[in-house]
Amino acid sequence: MVTVLRWRNYLASPEWHGGTRFFLFAWVACMIPMPIVQWLTGDDGLTAGIYLSVLMQGTLAVLFLKQAAGWRRTAAIVLLVATVAWASEAIGSKTGIPFGAYHYTDRLQPQLLGVPILIPLAWLMMLPPAWAVAQRLTGYAGAGSPAATRAAFVGVSALAFTAWDLFLDPQMVHWGLWEWDQPGAYFGIPLVNFAGWLLVSGLITALVRPPRVPDRPLLVVYTLTWLIETVGLILFWGLYGPAAAGFIGMGLFVLLGWRAGRS
């Protein structure tokens, strides 16, 4: 009961303003019933739930970026993230570089050169939470930070972001959203895929040179993603191996992020 009251008081704090509280609850409200929606309506309902949850979480990330940098800088960040993410996916799905040989199915529409337009927004929705984790762990204070701090920030951001894919890729393949030409060692996912995630997310972060973001609320988003993915993969999708790996991999950054905040 004490924990519930603390969280209620925290969510009522000034950190959650400008629509962020609304979109946090909207995102969670989209994520939690997705297994029931799929059971009631089939794959079309699941696809609609995916679109809604990505849009809600993506909007939440954009609002926090706006708090940190204003609308003009935020628009530039969104454009850069979306462009590089889409280009990497378009190149990757055609050449196998840097993620390995894969292709998207027809489930997510519309698509541009074989890449669903939703995918760049999915990159955008989780990069700021990863930046928040790295900000806490490295002491990053924005583009004016020392070079060593900026380099550490880029590396930790890429690791925190890629940890999410320990859940995501097996889940998306299970849902039939994309397919690998040759299944790999990580529950059917080629290991080179994770190298691609590290490379591209690190490149995006280095190019963006993010401002100092509101780290505590974005760490809440990172933590909720970790919890929802763990519970969903275990209870509803039966993906026990990816659930355990993601729980450990992403959970490490959750633990370190909160501990860094207390220290």
User: Mind listing the pLDDT tens digit for each residue in 114-167?
Assistant: 999 999 999 999 999 999 999 999 999 988 899 999 999 999 999 999 999 999
**3-state SS assignment for residue 189:** strand
Question: What token pair was written down for 35?
Answer: 């297994």
Q: How much is the pTM?
A: 0.93
Nearest residue to 59 via CA among 86, 21, 85, 112: 21
Nearest residue to 107 via CA among 170, 175, 33, 31: 175
Q: How confident is the model at residue 262 (pLDDT cuts 50, 70, 90)?
A: low
Domain positions in the chain are: 24-262
